[in-house]
Amino acid sequence: MYEIAYPWMFALLPLPLLMWWLYPAYKQKKEALYYPKFEELTEATRLKPQKSATILKRRWFQYLTNFIGWCLIVIALSNPQYIGEPAKKVKEARNLLIAADISMSMETRDWINPEGERMSRWEAVQGVLHDFIQKREGDRIGLMLFGSDVFAMPFTPDLEIINHTINETGIGMAGHKTTIGNAIALSTQVFDADSIDQKVMILLTDGQDSGSEIVPITASQMAADDSIKIYTVGIGTKKSAAYELDDNTLKMIAKNTGGDYFFAGNIEELNKIYDQLNELEPIEFEDESYRPTRLLFYYPILACLALILTTQFISIIVNLIVSLKRRES
């Protein structure tokens, strides 16, 4: 259907009449030099002298064309457009919720980067997560960061926002503890606020639950009842004194929800884990938000330009004919 985006623009139609009424033609008196042979000159030219200057008057078609041109400009300003029927797009995408542990234990520097330098567990996770998220083009990602508290971002296809949030996240921002149970419990609310049926959560931690209001195993059973599949990823260095990972709990969480448990002791293993997670089956969903819109404002603009050019051409022809007739007479 056709639609006018700014119908209030038509209130400008009477503006030329208002300007003509409020601002009449400008007049100014000036002294003139009298020519001694003025009467002989008027007889030779056969022109009738007047006491004042001659005011050129517009012809009726000039008024008409000016009004039509103004109407076309107002129509263009109203932004006419043609809106088609809602188009349903079938897209393939995964709906992933990434829950990352940012408790103080993630500051442990027992991992080695490719250059052989020591780095914290969170720095390693940040780098791998960036690569993993970049491969999610077309997918919808939600982000959850947990420590003593849990912070969650809703699902979005804007992966740059997710990457930016991960970059700006620091260890300890959510507190010192590791509330895995609370994170799983909150995930059900994040998924309930979304319309896609497939619910996949990737839970990454290097410690064991501490301070949760709900036991992680119980929370995982609640998630399973809500059809949430959880893939747990445990990270750490088993030979390190800072190794506090509760493998059994993470395995039980994954088992209860139909997911899998992975362990990563270094960056290479963590990359391999995310490569396996890439094999998750995509889903199809319909997006009805797209409605094709075609802007039509340039049609009245082109018509106005054509009208101006035509009017000028006719004026030139008329003036030329009048001039020729005067010469003949």
301/152 same-domain check: no
194/312 same-domain check: no
Question: How many independent structural domains does the chain possess?
Answer: 2
User: Which residues are registered as beta bridge partners of 287?
Assistant: 89
Does 254 fall in a domain? yes
Does 28 fall in a domain? no
Is-contact 234 250, C-beta < 8 A?
Answer: yes
Tell me the residue range of the domain where 3 lies: 1-21+58-85+291-329
Of 148, 145, 152, residue with least CA distance to 170: 145
- Alpha-carbon Rg for the chain, nearest whole angstrom, is 39
**262: pLDDT confidence band, cut at 50, 70 and 90?**
very high
122/16 same-domain check: no
Does 111 fall in a domain? yes
Q: Tokens 């599949």 — which residue?
A: 229
CATH number of the domain residue 170 falls in: 3.40.50.410
Q: What is the pTM of this model?
A: 0.58
103/200 same-domain check: yes
Of 226, 222, 206, residue with least CA distance to 214: 222
Q: Count the helix, strand and coil residues of the chain and give each as a percent rounded to the nearest 5.
A: 45, 20, 35
**242: pLDDT confidence band, cut at 50, 70 and 90?**
low
25-83 pLDDT per residue, tens: 666 666 766 667 777 777 777 666 666 555 555 666 777 888 888 898 989 888 888 88
115/76 same-domain check: no
Segment 206-226 shows an average pLDDT of 90
170/134 same-domain check: yes
Does 46 fall in a domain? no
Name the amino acid, one letter, at 256: N
75/208 same-domain check: no
**272: pLDDT confidence band, cut at 50, 70 and 90?**
confident
Is-contact 228 188, C-beta < 8 A?
Answer: yes
97/205 same-domain check: yes
167/263 same-domain check: yes
Does 35 fall in a domain? no
| Strand boundaries in 106-241, DSSP class E | 111-112, 118-119, 140-146, 150-156, 199-205, 228-235
Poorest-confidence range of 111-115, 156-160, 288-292?
A: 288-292
243/94 same-domain check: yes
Does 26 fall in a domain? no
Does 33 fall in a domain? no
107-154 pLDDT per residue, tens: 888 888 778 888 888 998 888 888 888 877 777 889 999 999 999 998
Does 282 fall in a domain? yes
Which distant-in-sequence residues (6+ apart) come within 8 Å of 176 by Cβ?
103, 104, 147, 148
Q: What is the mean pLDDT of the chain?
A: 82
69/139 same-domain check: no
130/237 same-domain check: yes
